[in-house]
Structure 1
Amino acid sequence: MQSKVLPIVGLIVAIVVIAVAVVLLLPHGSSSSYSPISSQQTKITQVGDAKIYYYSPEYYQFGIGLNSSSAVKVTSAYVEINGQKLENDSVNIMLSPGTNFLVIYIPSNSSVLSGLSEIPITLCLNDGQKVTLYGKLCGCYICNHVYGVGEGALVKLNNGTWELYAKISSNINVDLIAVEFGNTEIPAEVQLHPGVNSISVNLGNICVVAGQSYNLDLVLNNGQVVTITAEGE
């Protein structure tokens, strides 16, 4: 009788051992294989307006205050206005839970953000999020300058129209889009580059007296208006 009981007991023990091993090997519900990032994404809240300063002509400096619900890293940032994208793809800033203040530099070769009442900057985080914050342009360091060099000339062409000839100094790339002569605005399309630029713009049929000097306003695409003097010839 005893010899029959022992094999049965051994079989029961073996079954229990196998069952325990299977339970230990099965994944537990609290440590499943999927990542819960989507349900625990960091929450970013802007604190006040971002303060933006233009360091002509190389870059913009963004000073940004924000609250973060958890630790996360900013890996890149960009500004996109009217299809033109300015990007810093080598940002390496770690945000701590709570209030953070960070400074981000966005490269630029012209003051394309001038005149905008609100400027968006998008932060790319290492958890896959993109967070857009907003700021205002507060000032300019090493500001851009565009001015006339000497006096220009207004020359009457054979077809009866008047041509403006002038030298313009600039430390940025910018476009001359119009010339204001008296109460008339004449469209123009002249690119100015860093250095002294020799320009010519046909002003059409305007009233000019030879030997008299006139003030003309040059309208630039960055919002500036530059006044120069030219003499009728």
Structure 2
Amino acid sequence: RGMSCRQNFALANRRNSAATVIQSTVRGCGAASSFRKARSSAIKIQSKQRSAVHRASYDQLRVRLTQLQASIRAHLAMKRRRRAIASITLLQATARGMNCRRNLELDRSCLDEAAQTPLGSASGGQKDISPFKPGSLDTLSLAELARIWKSLLHHKAAIVEAYNAANKSASDFLPRDEFEAFLRFTVLYKVLWETFSKNEGHASKMSRTDFTRIASALGVTGDSDHAFDLMDERSKKSVSYEVLCTWMARSSRNLGALESLG
């Protein structure tokens, strides 16, 4: 009986031990399952967080890209606008040039007639001006004067300066009563071209030393240094032919005889 009791006790212990192992195994499986579930949930949360961060970064990048695209489009539009304005300006200048060429229907005989006929009377002025602008006896445009006077002056800038000096009304046309003044200004510009020289050739600019050396030949009286200072308003230490002509036209009372047109 004692042996039977010991056997039964041992068997009971083995059964209890097996139950304990089973319970421990069950608890371990539950813990592992819970851990896996918790880890999966954490991974999902982290993934969602990363996705949210990525979406925010993507949205910021997309906004920045949109801004850059808008800036590029605006830059290209402005560039195209500048090119269009430049093209329009070029076309307008070409059209004006073509119009000027159509208006240049003059010859040297008109100048000879104008130089030989008195311009003081109204009839004389009408007689001189009418060949220059058919259909109008009162005004002349710069384009209509250019062809004749470019044969007397060596570049167009002198014609423009003489025209502006004579044209008191500052319009696009020279009135008849200012035409004689224009002729006299042209004489002055022609004479000054021939005397505005350096090393036996026409000089584009002159220094103070060169100017004082030929000042008397140019008709400048008094202090030539003071005259140079009056002309050199921007202190460039040199004067150009156009500046000299403009200053002489404003300062000289006797602009020369019309016979000097030659």
TM normalised by structure 2 equals: 0.27
Structure with higher strand content: 1
The structure having more radius of gyration, on CA atoms, is 2
Q: Larger relative contact order (C-alpha < 8 A, sep ≥ 6)?
A: 1
